[in-house]
Amino acid sequence: DAGVTQSPTHLIKTRGQQVTLRCSPKSGHDTVSWYQQALGQGPQFIFQYYEEEERQRGNFPDRFSGHQFPNYSSELNVNALLLGDSALYLCASSLETGGRESTDTQYFGPGTRLTVL
Amino acid sequence: AQSVAQPEDQVNVAEGNPLTVKCTYSVSGNPYLFWYVQYPNRGLQFLLKYITGDNLVKGSYGFEAEFNKSQTSFHLKKPSALVSDSALYFCAVRDGVNNDMRFGAGTRLTVKP
């Protein structure tokens, strides 16, 4: 049973560029959440996708956008990269059990390390 | 909004001794509490969660956590630490309405032989 996978593993970009990160959820999961983990900090919630819609968003600017595909995989796009966007980007998947009060565990992928020069 | 505090940046214990990693939380409504572990250059691995029921929750690798509503705490414990338990531990909380999890800043556990 494949867990959450993310690609690429590492990425180096320059300021002002755009980047796309990809995530495939754990088999059987339908919900994908994205987190940014800066060095020495805990993960910060970016947004969550369910049924191909952004369901909830954290305190991140519009430069951060996403998409979920019919097969539940997801992309995170970041435009106009800043030095401060350098971080480990984590994708987590879970199964929506119904309603907003989901108690399901989120399972994390290995992350994509983004470096902005 | 929900929040989590991990008051210790670093915890050091000797192998074979019991360990505790502390976590306190703030949330409106019923808390959903989680512990994750992160090894170097890896994603987060789920250890255990508290949703409802018994205050003592048992999880992976011999870890357990005790939910204390009056003290708003969810401390992670293990009776006998292993060197291989050395890693970064994160506590996280969700409430019953929002889907985002709030993580603490993490506690680095070092178990010495």
Residue contacts between A and B (CB atoms, under 8 Å): 61
pLDDT of B98 reads: 72
E strand or H helix at A22, and its extent? Answer: strand A19-24
Q: What is the DSSP string of B72-92?
A: TEEEEEESS--GGG-EEEEEE
With contact defined as beta carbons under 8 Å apart, do B35 and B90 qualify?
yes
Q: Which range (A13-22, A33-42, A64-73, A100-109) has the least confidence?
A: A100-109
**Could you read off the pLDDT tens digit of each residue along chain B, which spans 113 residues?**
789 999 999 999 999 999 999 999 998 888 899 999 999 877 899 999 998 888 999 999 999 999 999 999 999 999 999 999 999 999 999 876 777 789 999 999 999 99
Q: Does B84 touch chain A (CB under 8 A)?
A: no
Give dist(CA B92, CA A61) in Å, integer: 23
Sheet containing strand A74-78, strands side by side: A5-7, A19-24, A74-78, A64-68
User: In A, which residues are within 8 Å of B42 by CB distance?
Assistant: 110-111
Answer whether B103 sits within 8 Å of A106, measured CB to CB. Answer: no
Give dist(CA B20, CA B65) in Å, integer: 9
Give dist(CA A46, CA A96) in Å, integer: 18
Answer whether A103 sits within 8 Å of B90, measured CB to CB. Answer: no
Chosen from A29, A48, A108 to mutate, greatest number of chain B CBs within 10 A: A108
E strand or H helix at A113, and its extent? Answer: strand A112-116
With contact defined as beta carbons under 8 Å apart, do A88 and A46 qualify?
no
pLDDT of A101 reads: 47
Give dist(CA A42, CA B90) in Å, integer: 7
